């Protein structure tokens, strides 16, 4: 039985499998956060995790890390010290290309050095498996698209329709377009965000409130919404929004996503959700009005969304990652990527084929 070493937390026998060893902690203590701030504290904690993983690699058959500091350090160490090298899979590769030319060159150099050791880079958006290799000059067959997961398991919330439109999150959100879309729409709008800079220069109409909340409050706010919008900005190399989108769908909410290139991984437009173009407030306004003016059709769409999202569990996602690590550990060379078959099945709207090709 293959033993996998990881710094990604999970539940043995459920998310990871019984033969998985966790090396932690993966989060910095409160005193370190206060001393260094979030960025440096997490980077330092990640570097320490990378060192622990490297020191313990002889006890495992394969290693799974995130795509940040712990994973990069582990990959670099294996590149520099190739004896005893273990198959290495990185997830959460949330990479962007720096705007500065010399920073972009240095990032490409770091990733190419890591790629000499890593077997697979797992990405959460299918387009990233094409765009990342092109942007960073990396081998395409080292990238694997694994569909992301919802995060509502083991939580309680009161699912109801309190009559408001909800949108939330901080990363790569385009709230300016959402505000313009709802300016003349008769619906209360709650935007949950702590990023005030996202609203710089935006004149908020009377029906829009910006109010941050706790993680528990965020889940309940989604559960109480009439519809949920996930407005993402254009022009980014990577795509976010998957967790919010899948949680909204699992709650049975009519869900409107901004951005075809990422949302089509989960939504079949007009069937289990709506997809509109980036930075297009007119199209977003029409989609919102359709949901409000067609409540029964929107309810059926939300029910289809619930059925679709039920497959995207954390267990399925993390077991797919672990299976990838085990698969790599059973071979001395990287096996043929399953990207094309998984992507084709998941984006075609055929959930049964997608499940079958992901081993579920």
Q: Which two tokens stand for residue 337?
A: 């990527």
H-helix or E-strand containing 290?
helix 281-293
Percent pLDDT > 70 in the chain is: 88
d(CA 290, CA 284): 10
Given a cut of 60, whether residue 12 has pLDDT beyond it is no
Give the number of other CB atoms < 10 A from CB of residue 106: 12
- DSSP letter at 126 equals T
Q: What is the DSSP string of 177-215?
A: HHHHHHTTSSS-EEEE-S-GGGGTT----TTEEE----H
Percent pLDDT > 90 in the chain is: 69
Which 3-state string (H, E, C) describes 7-29?
A: CCCCCCCCCCCCCEEECCCCCCC
Which conformational region is residue 88 in: left (phi greater than 0), alpha (psi within -120 to 50 degrees), or beta?
beta
**Average of pLDDT values for 114-139?**
96
Contact (CB, 8 A) for 256 and 230? yes
Predicted structure pTM score: 0.86
**Predicted local confidence at residue 341, as pLDDT:** 41
Enumerate the domain spans of the chain: 4-149+314-357, 165-309
Given a cut of 90, whether residue 244 has pLDDT beyond it is yes
Which residue, among 237, 238, 343, 324, has the nearest Cα to 8 in the 3D structure? 324
Q: Report domain 165-309's class.
A: alpha beta
Distances (CA, A) of 241 to 38, 45, 125, 227, 238: 21, 26, 10, 16, 10
322-349 pLDDT, tens digit per residue, is 888 888 887 644 444 444 444 444 444 4
Q: Of 23-32, 97-106, 131-140, 143-152, give the lowest mean pLDDT range.
A: 23-32
**Average of pLDDT values for 128-154?**
95
d(CA 75, CA 87): 10
Given a cut of 80, whether residue 22 has pLDDT beyond it is no
Q: Report domain 4-149+314-357's class.
A: alpha beta
Same CATH topology for 4-149+314-357 and 165-309? yes
**Predicted local confidence at residue 36, as pLDDT:** 84
Angle at 64 between CA 104 and CA 236, to 5 degrees: 35
207-240 pLDDT, tens digit per residue, is 999 999 999 999 999 999 999 999 999 999 999 9
Which residue, among 66, 20, 21, 22, has the nearest Cα to 47 in the 3D structure? 66
**Average of pLDDT values for 188-195?**
97
**Cα radius of gyration rounded to whole Å, the chain:** 21
- DSSP letter at 154 equals T
**Average of pLDDT values for 54-77?**
92
Contact (CB, 8 A) for 257 and 273? yes
d(CA 317, CA 246): 13
Name the packing angle between helices 101-115 and 69-80 (round to 10°): 60
Give the pLDDT band of residue 13 (cuts 50, 70, 90): low
**Predicted local confidence at residue 32, as pLDDT:** 80
Which residue, among 139, 87, 132, has the nearest Cα to 115 in the 3D structure? 139
**Predicted local confidence at residue 128, as pLDDT:** 98
Given a cut of 80, whether residue 271 has pLDDT beyond it is yes
Q: What value does the mean pLDDT of the chain take? A: 88
**Predicted local confidence at residue 18, as pLDDT:** 63
Give the number of other CB atoms < 10 A from CB of residue 218: 18
Dihedral sign from CA coordinates of 94, 95, 99, 100: positive
Which residue, among 117, 125, 37, has the nearest Cα to 77 in the 3D structure? 117
Given a cut of 80, whether residue 297 has pLDDT beyond it is yes
Contact (CB, 8 A) for 84 and 57? yes
**Average of pLDDT values for 188-196?**
96
Give the number of other CB atoms < 10 A from CB of residue 43: 16
């Amino acid at each position: 039985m293959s033993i996998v070493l990881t710094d990604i937390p999970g539940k043995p026998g459920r998310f990871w499998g019984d033969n998985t060893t966790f090396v932690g902690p993966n989060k910095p203590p409160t005193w370190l956060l206060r001393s260094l701030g979030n960025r440096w504290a997490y980077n330092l904690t990640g570097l320490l995790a990378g060192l622990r993983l490297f020191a313990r690699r002889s006890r495992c058959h394969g290693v799974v890390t995130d795509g940040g500091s712990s994973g990069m350090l582990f990959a670099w160490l294996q590149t520099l010290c190739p004896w005893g090298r273990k198959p290495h899979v990185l997830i959460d590769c949330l990479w962007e290309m720096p705007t500065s030319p010399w920073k972009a060159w240095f990032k490409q150099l770091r990733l190419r050095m890591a790629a000499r050791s890593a077997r697979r880079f797992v990405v959460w958006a299918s387009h990233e498996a094409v765009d990342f290799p092109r942007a960073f000059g990396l081998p395409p067959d080292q990238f694997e698209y694994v569909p992301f997961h919802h995060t509502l398991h083991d939580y309680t919330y009161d699912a109801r329709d309190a009559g408001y439109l909800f949108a939330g999150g901080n990363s790569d959100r385009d709230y300016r377009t959402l505000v313009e879309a709802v300016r003349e729409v008769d619906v209360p709008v709650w935007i949950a965000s702590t990023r005030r800079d996202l609203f710089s220069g935006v004149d908020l109409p009377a029906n829009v409130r910006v109010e941050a909340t706790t993680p528990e409050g965020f889940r309940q706010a989604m559960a109480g919404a009439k519809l949920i919008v996930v407005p993402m900005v254009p022009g980014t190399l990577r795509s976010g929004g998957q967790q919010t989108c899948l949680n909204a769908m699992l709650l049975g909410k009519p869900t409107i996503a901004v951005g075809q290139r990422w949302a089509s991984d989960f939504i079949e437009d007009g069937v289990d959700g709506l997809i509109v173009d980036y930075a297009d407030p007119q199209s977003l306004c029409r989609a919102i009005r359709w949901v409000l003016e067609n409540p029964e059709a929107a309810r059926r769409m939300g029910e289809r969304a619930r059925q679709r999202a039920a497959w995207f569990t954390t267990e399925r996602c993390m077991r797919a990652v672990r299976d990838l690590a085990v698969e790599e550990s059973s071979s001395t060379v990287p096996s043929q990527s399953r990207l094309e078959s998984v992507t084709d099945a998941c984006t075609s709207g055929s959930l049964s084929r997608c499940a079958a090709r992901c081993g579920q």
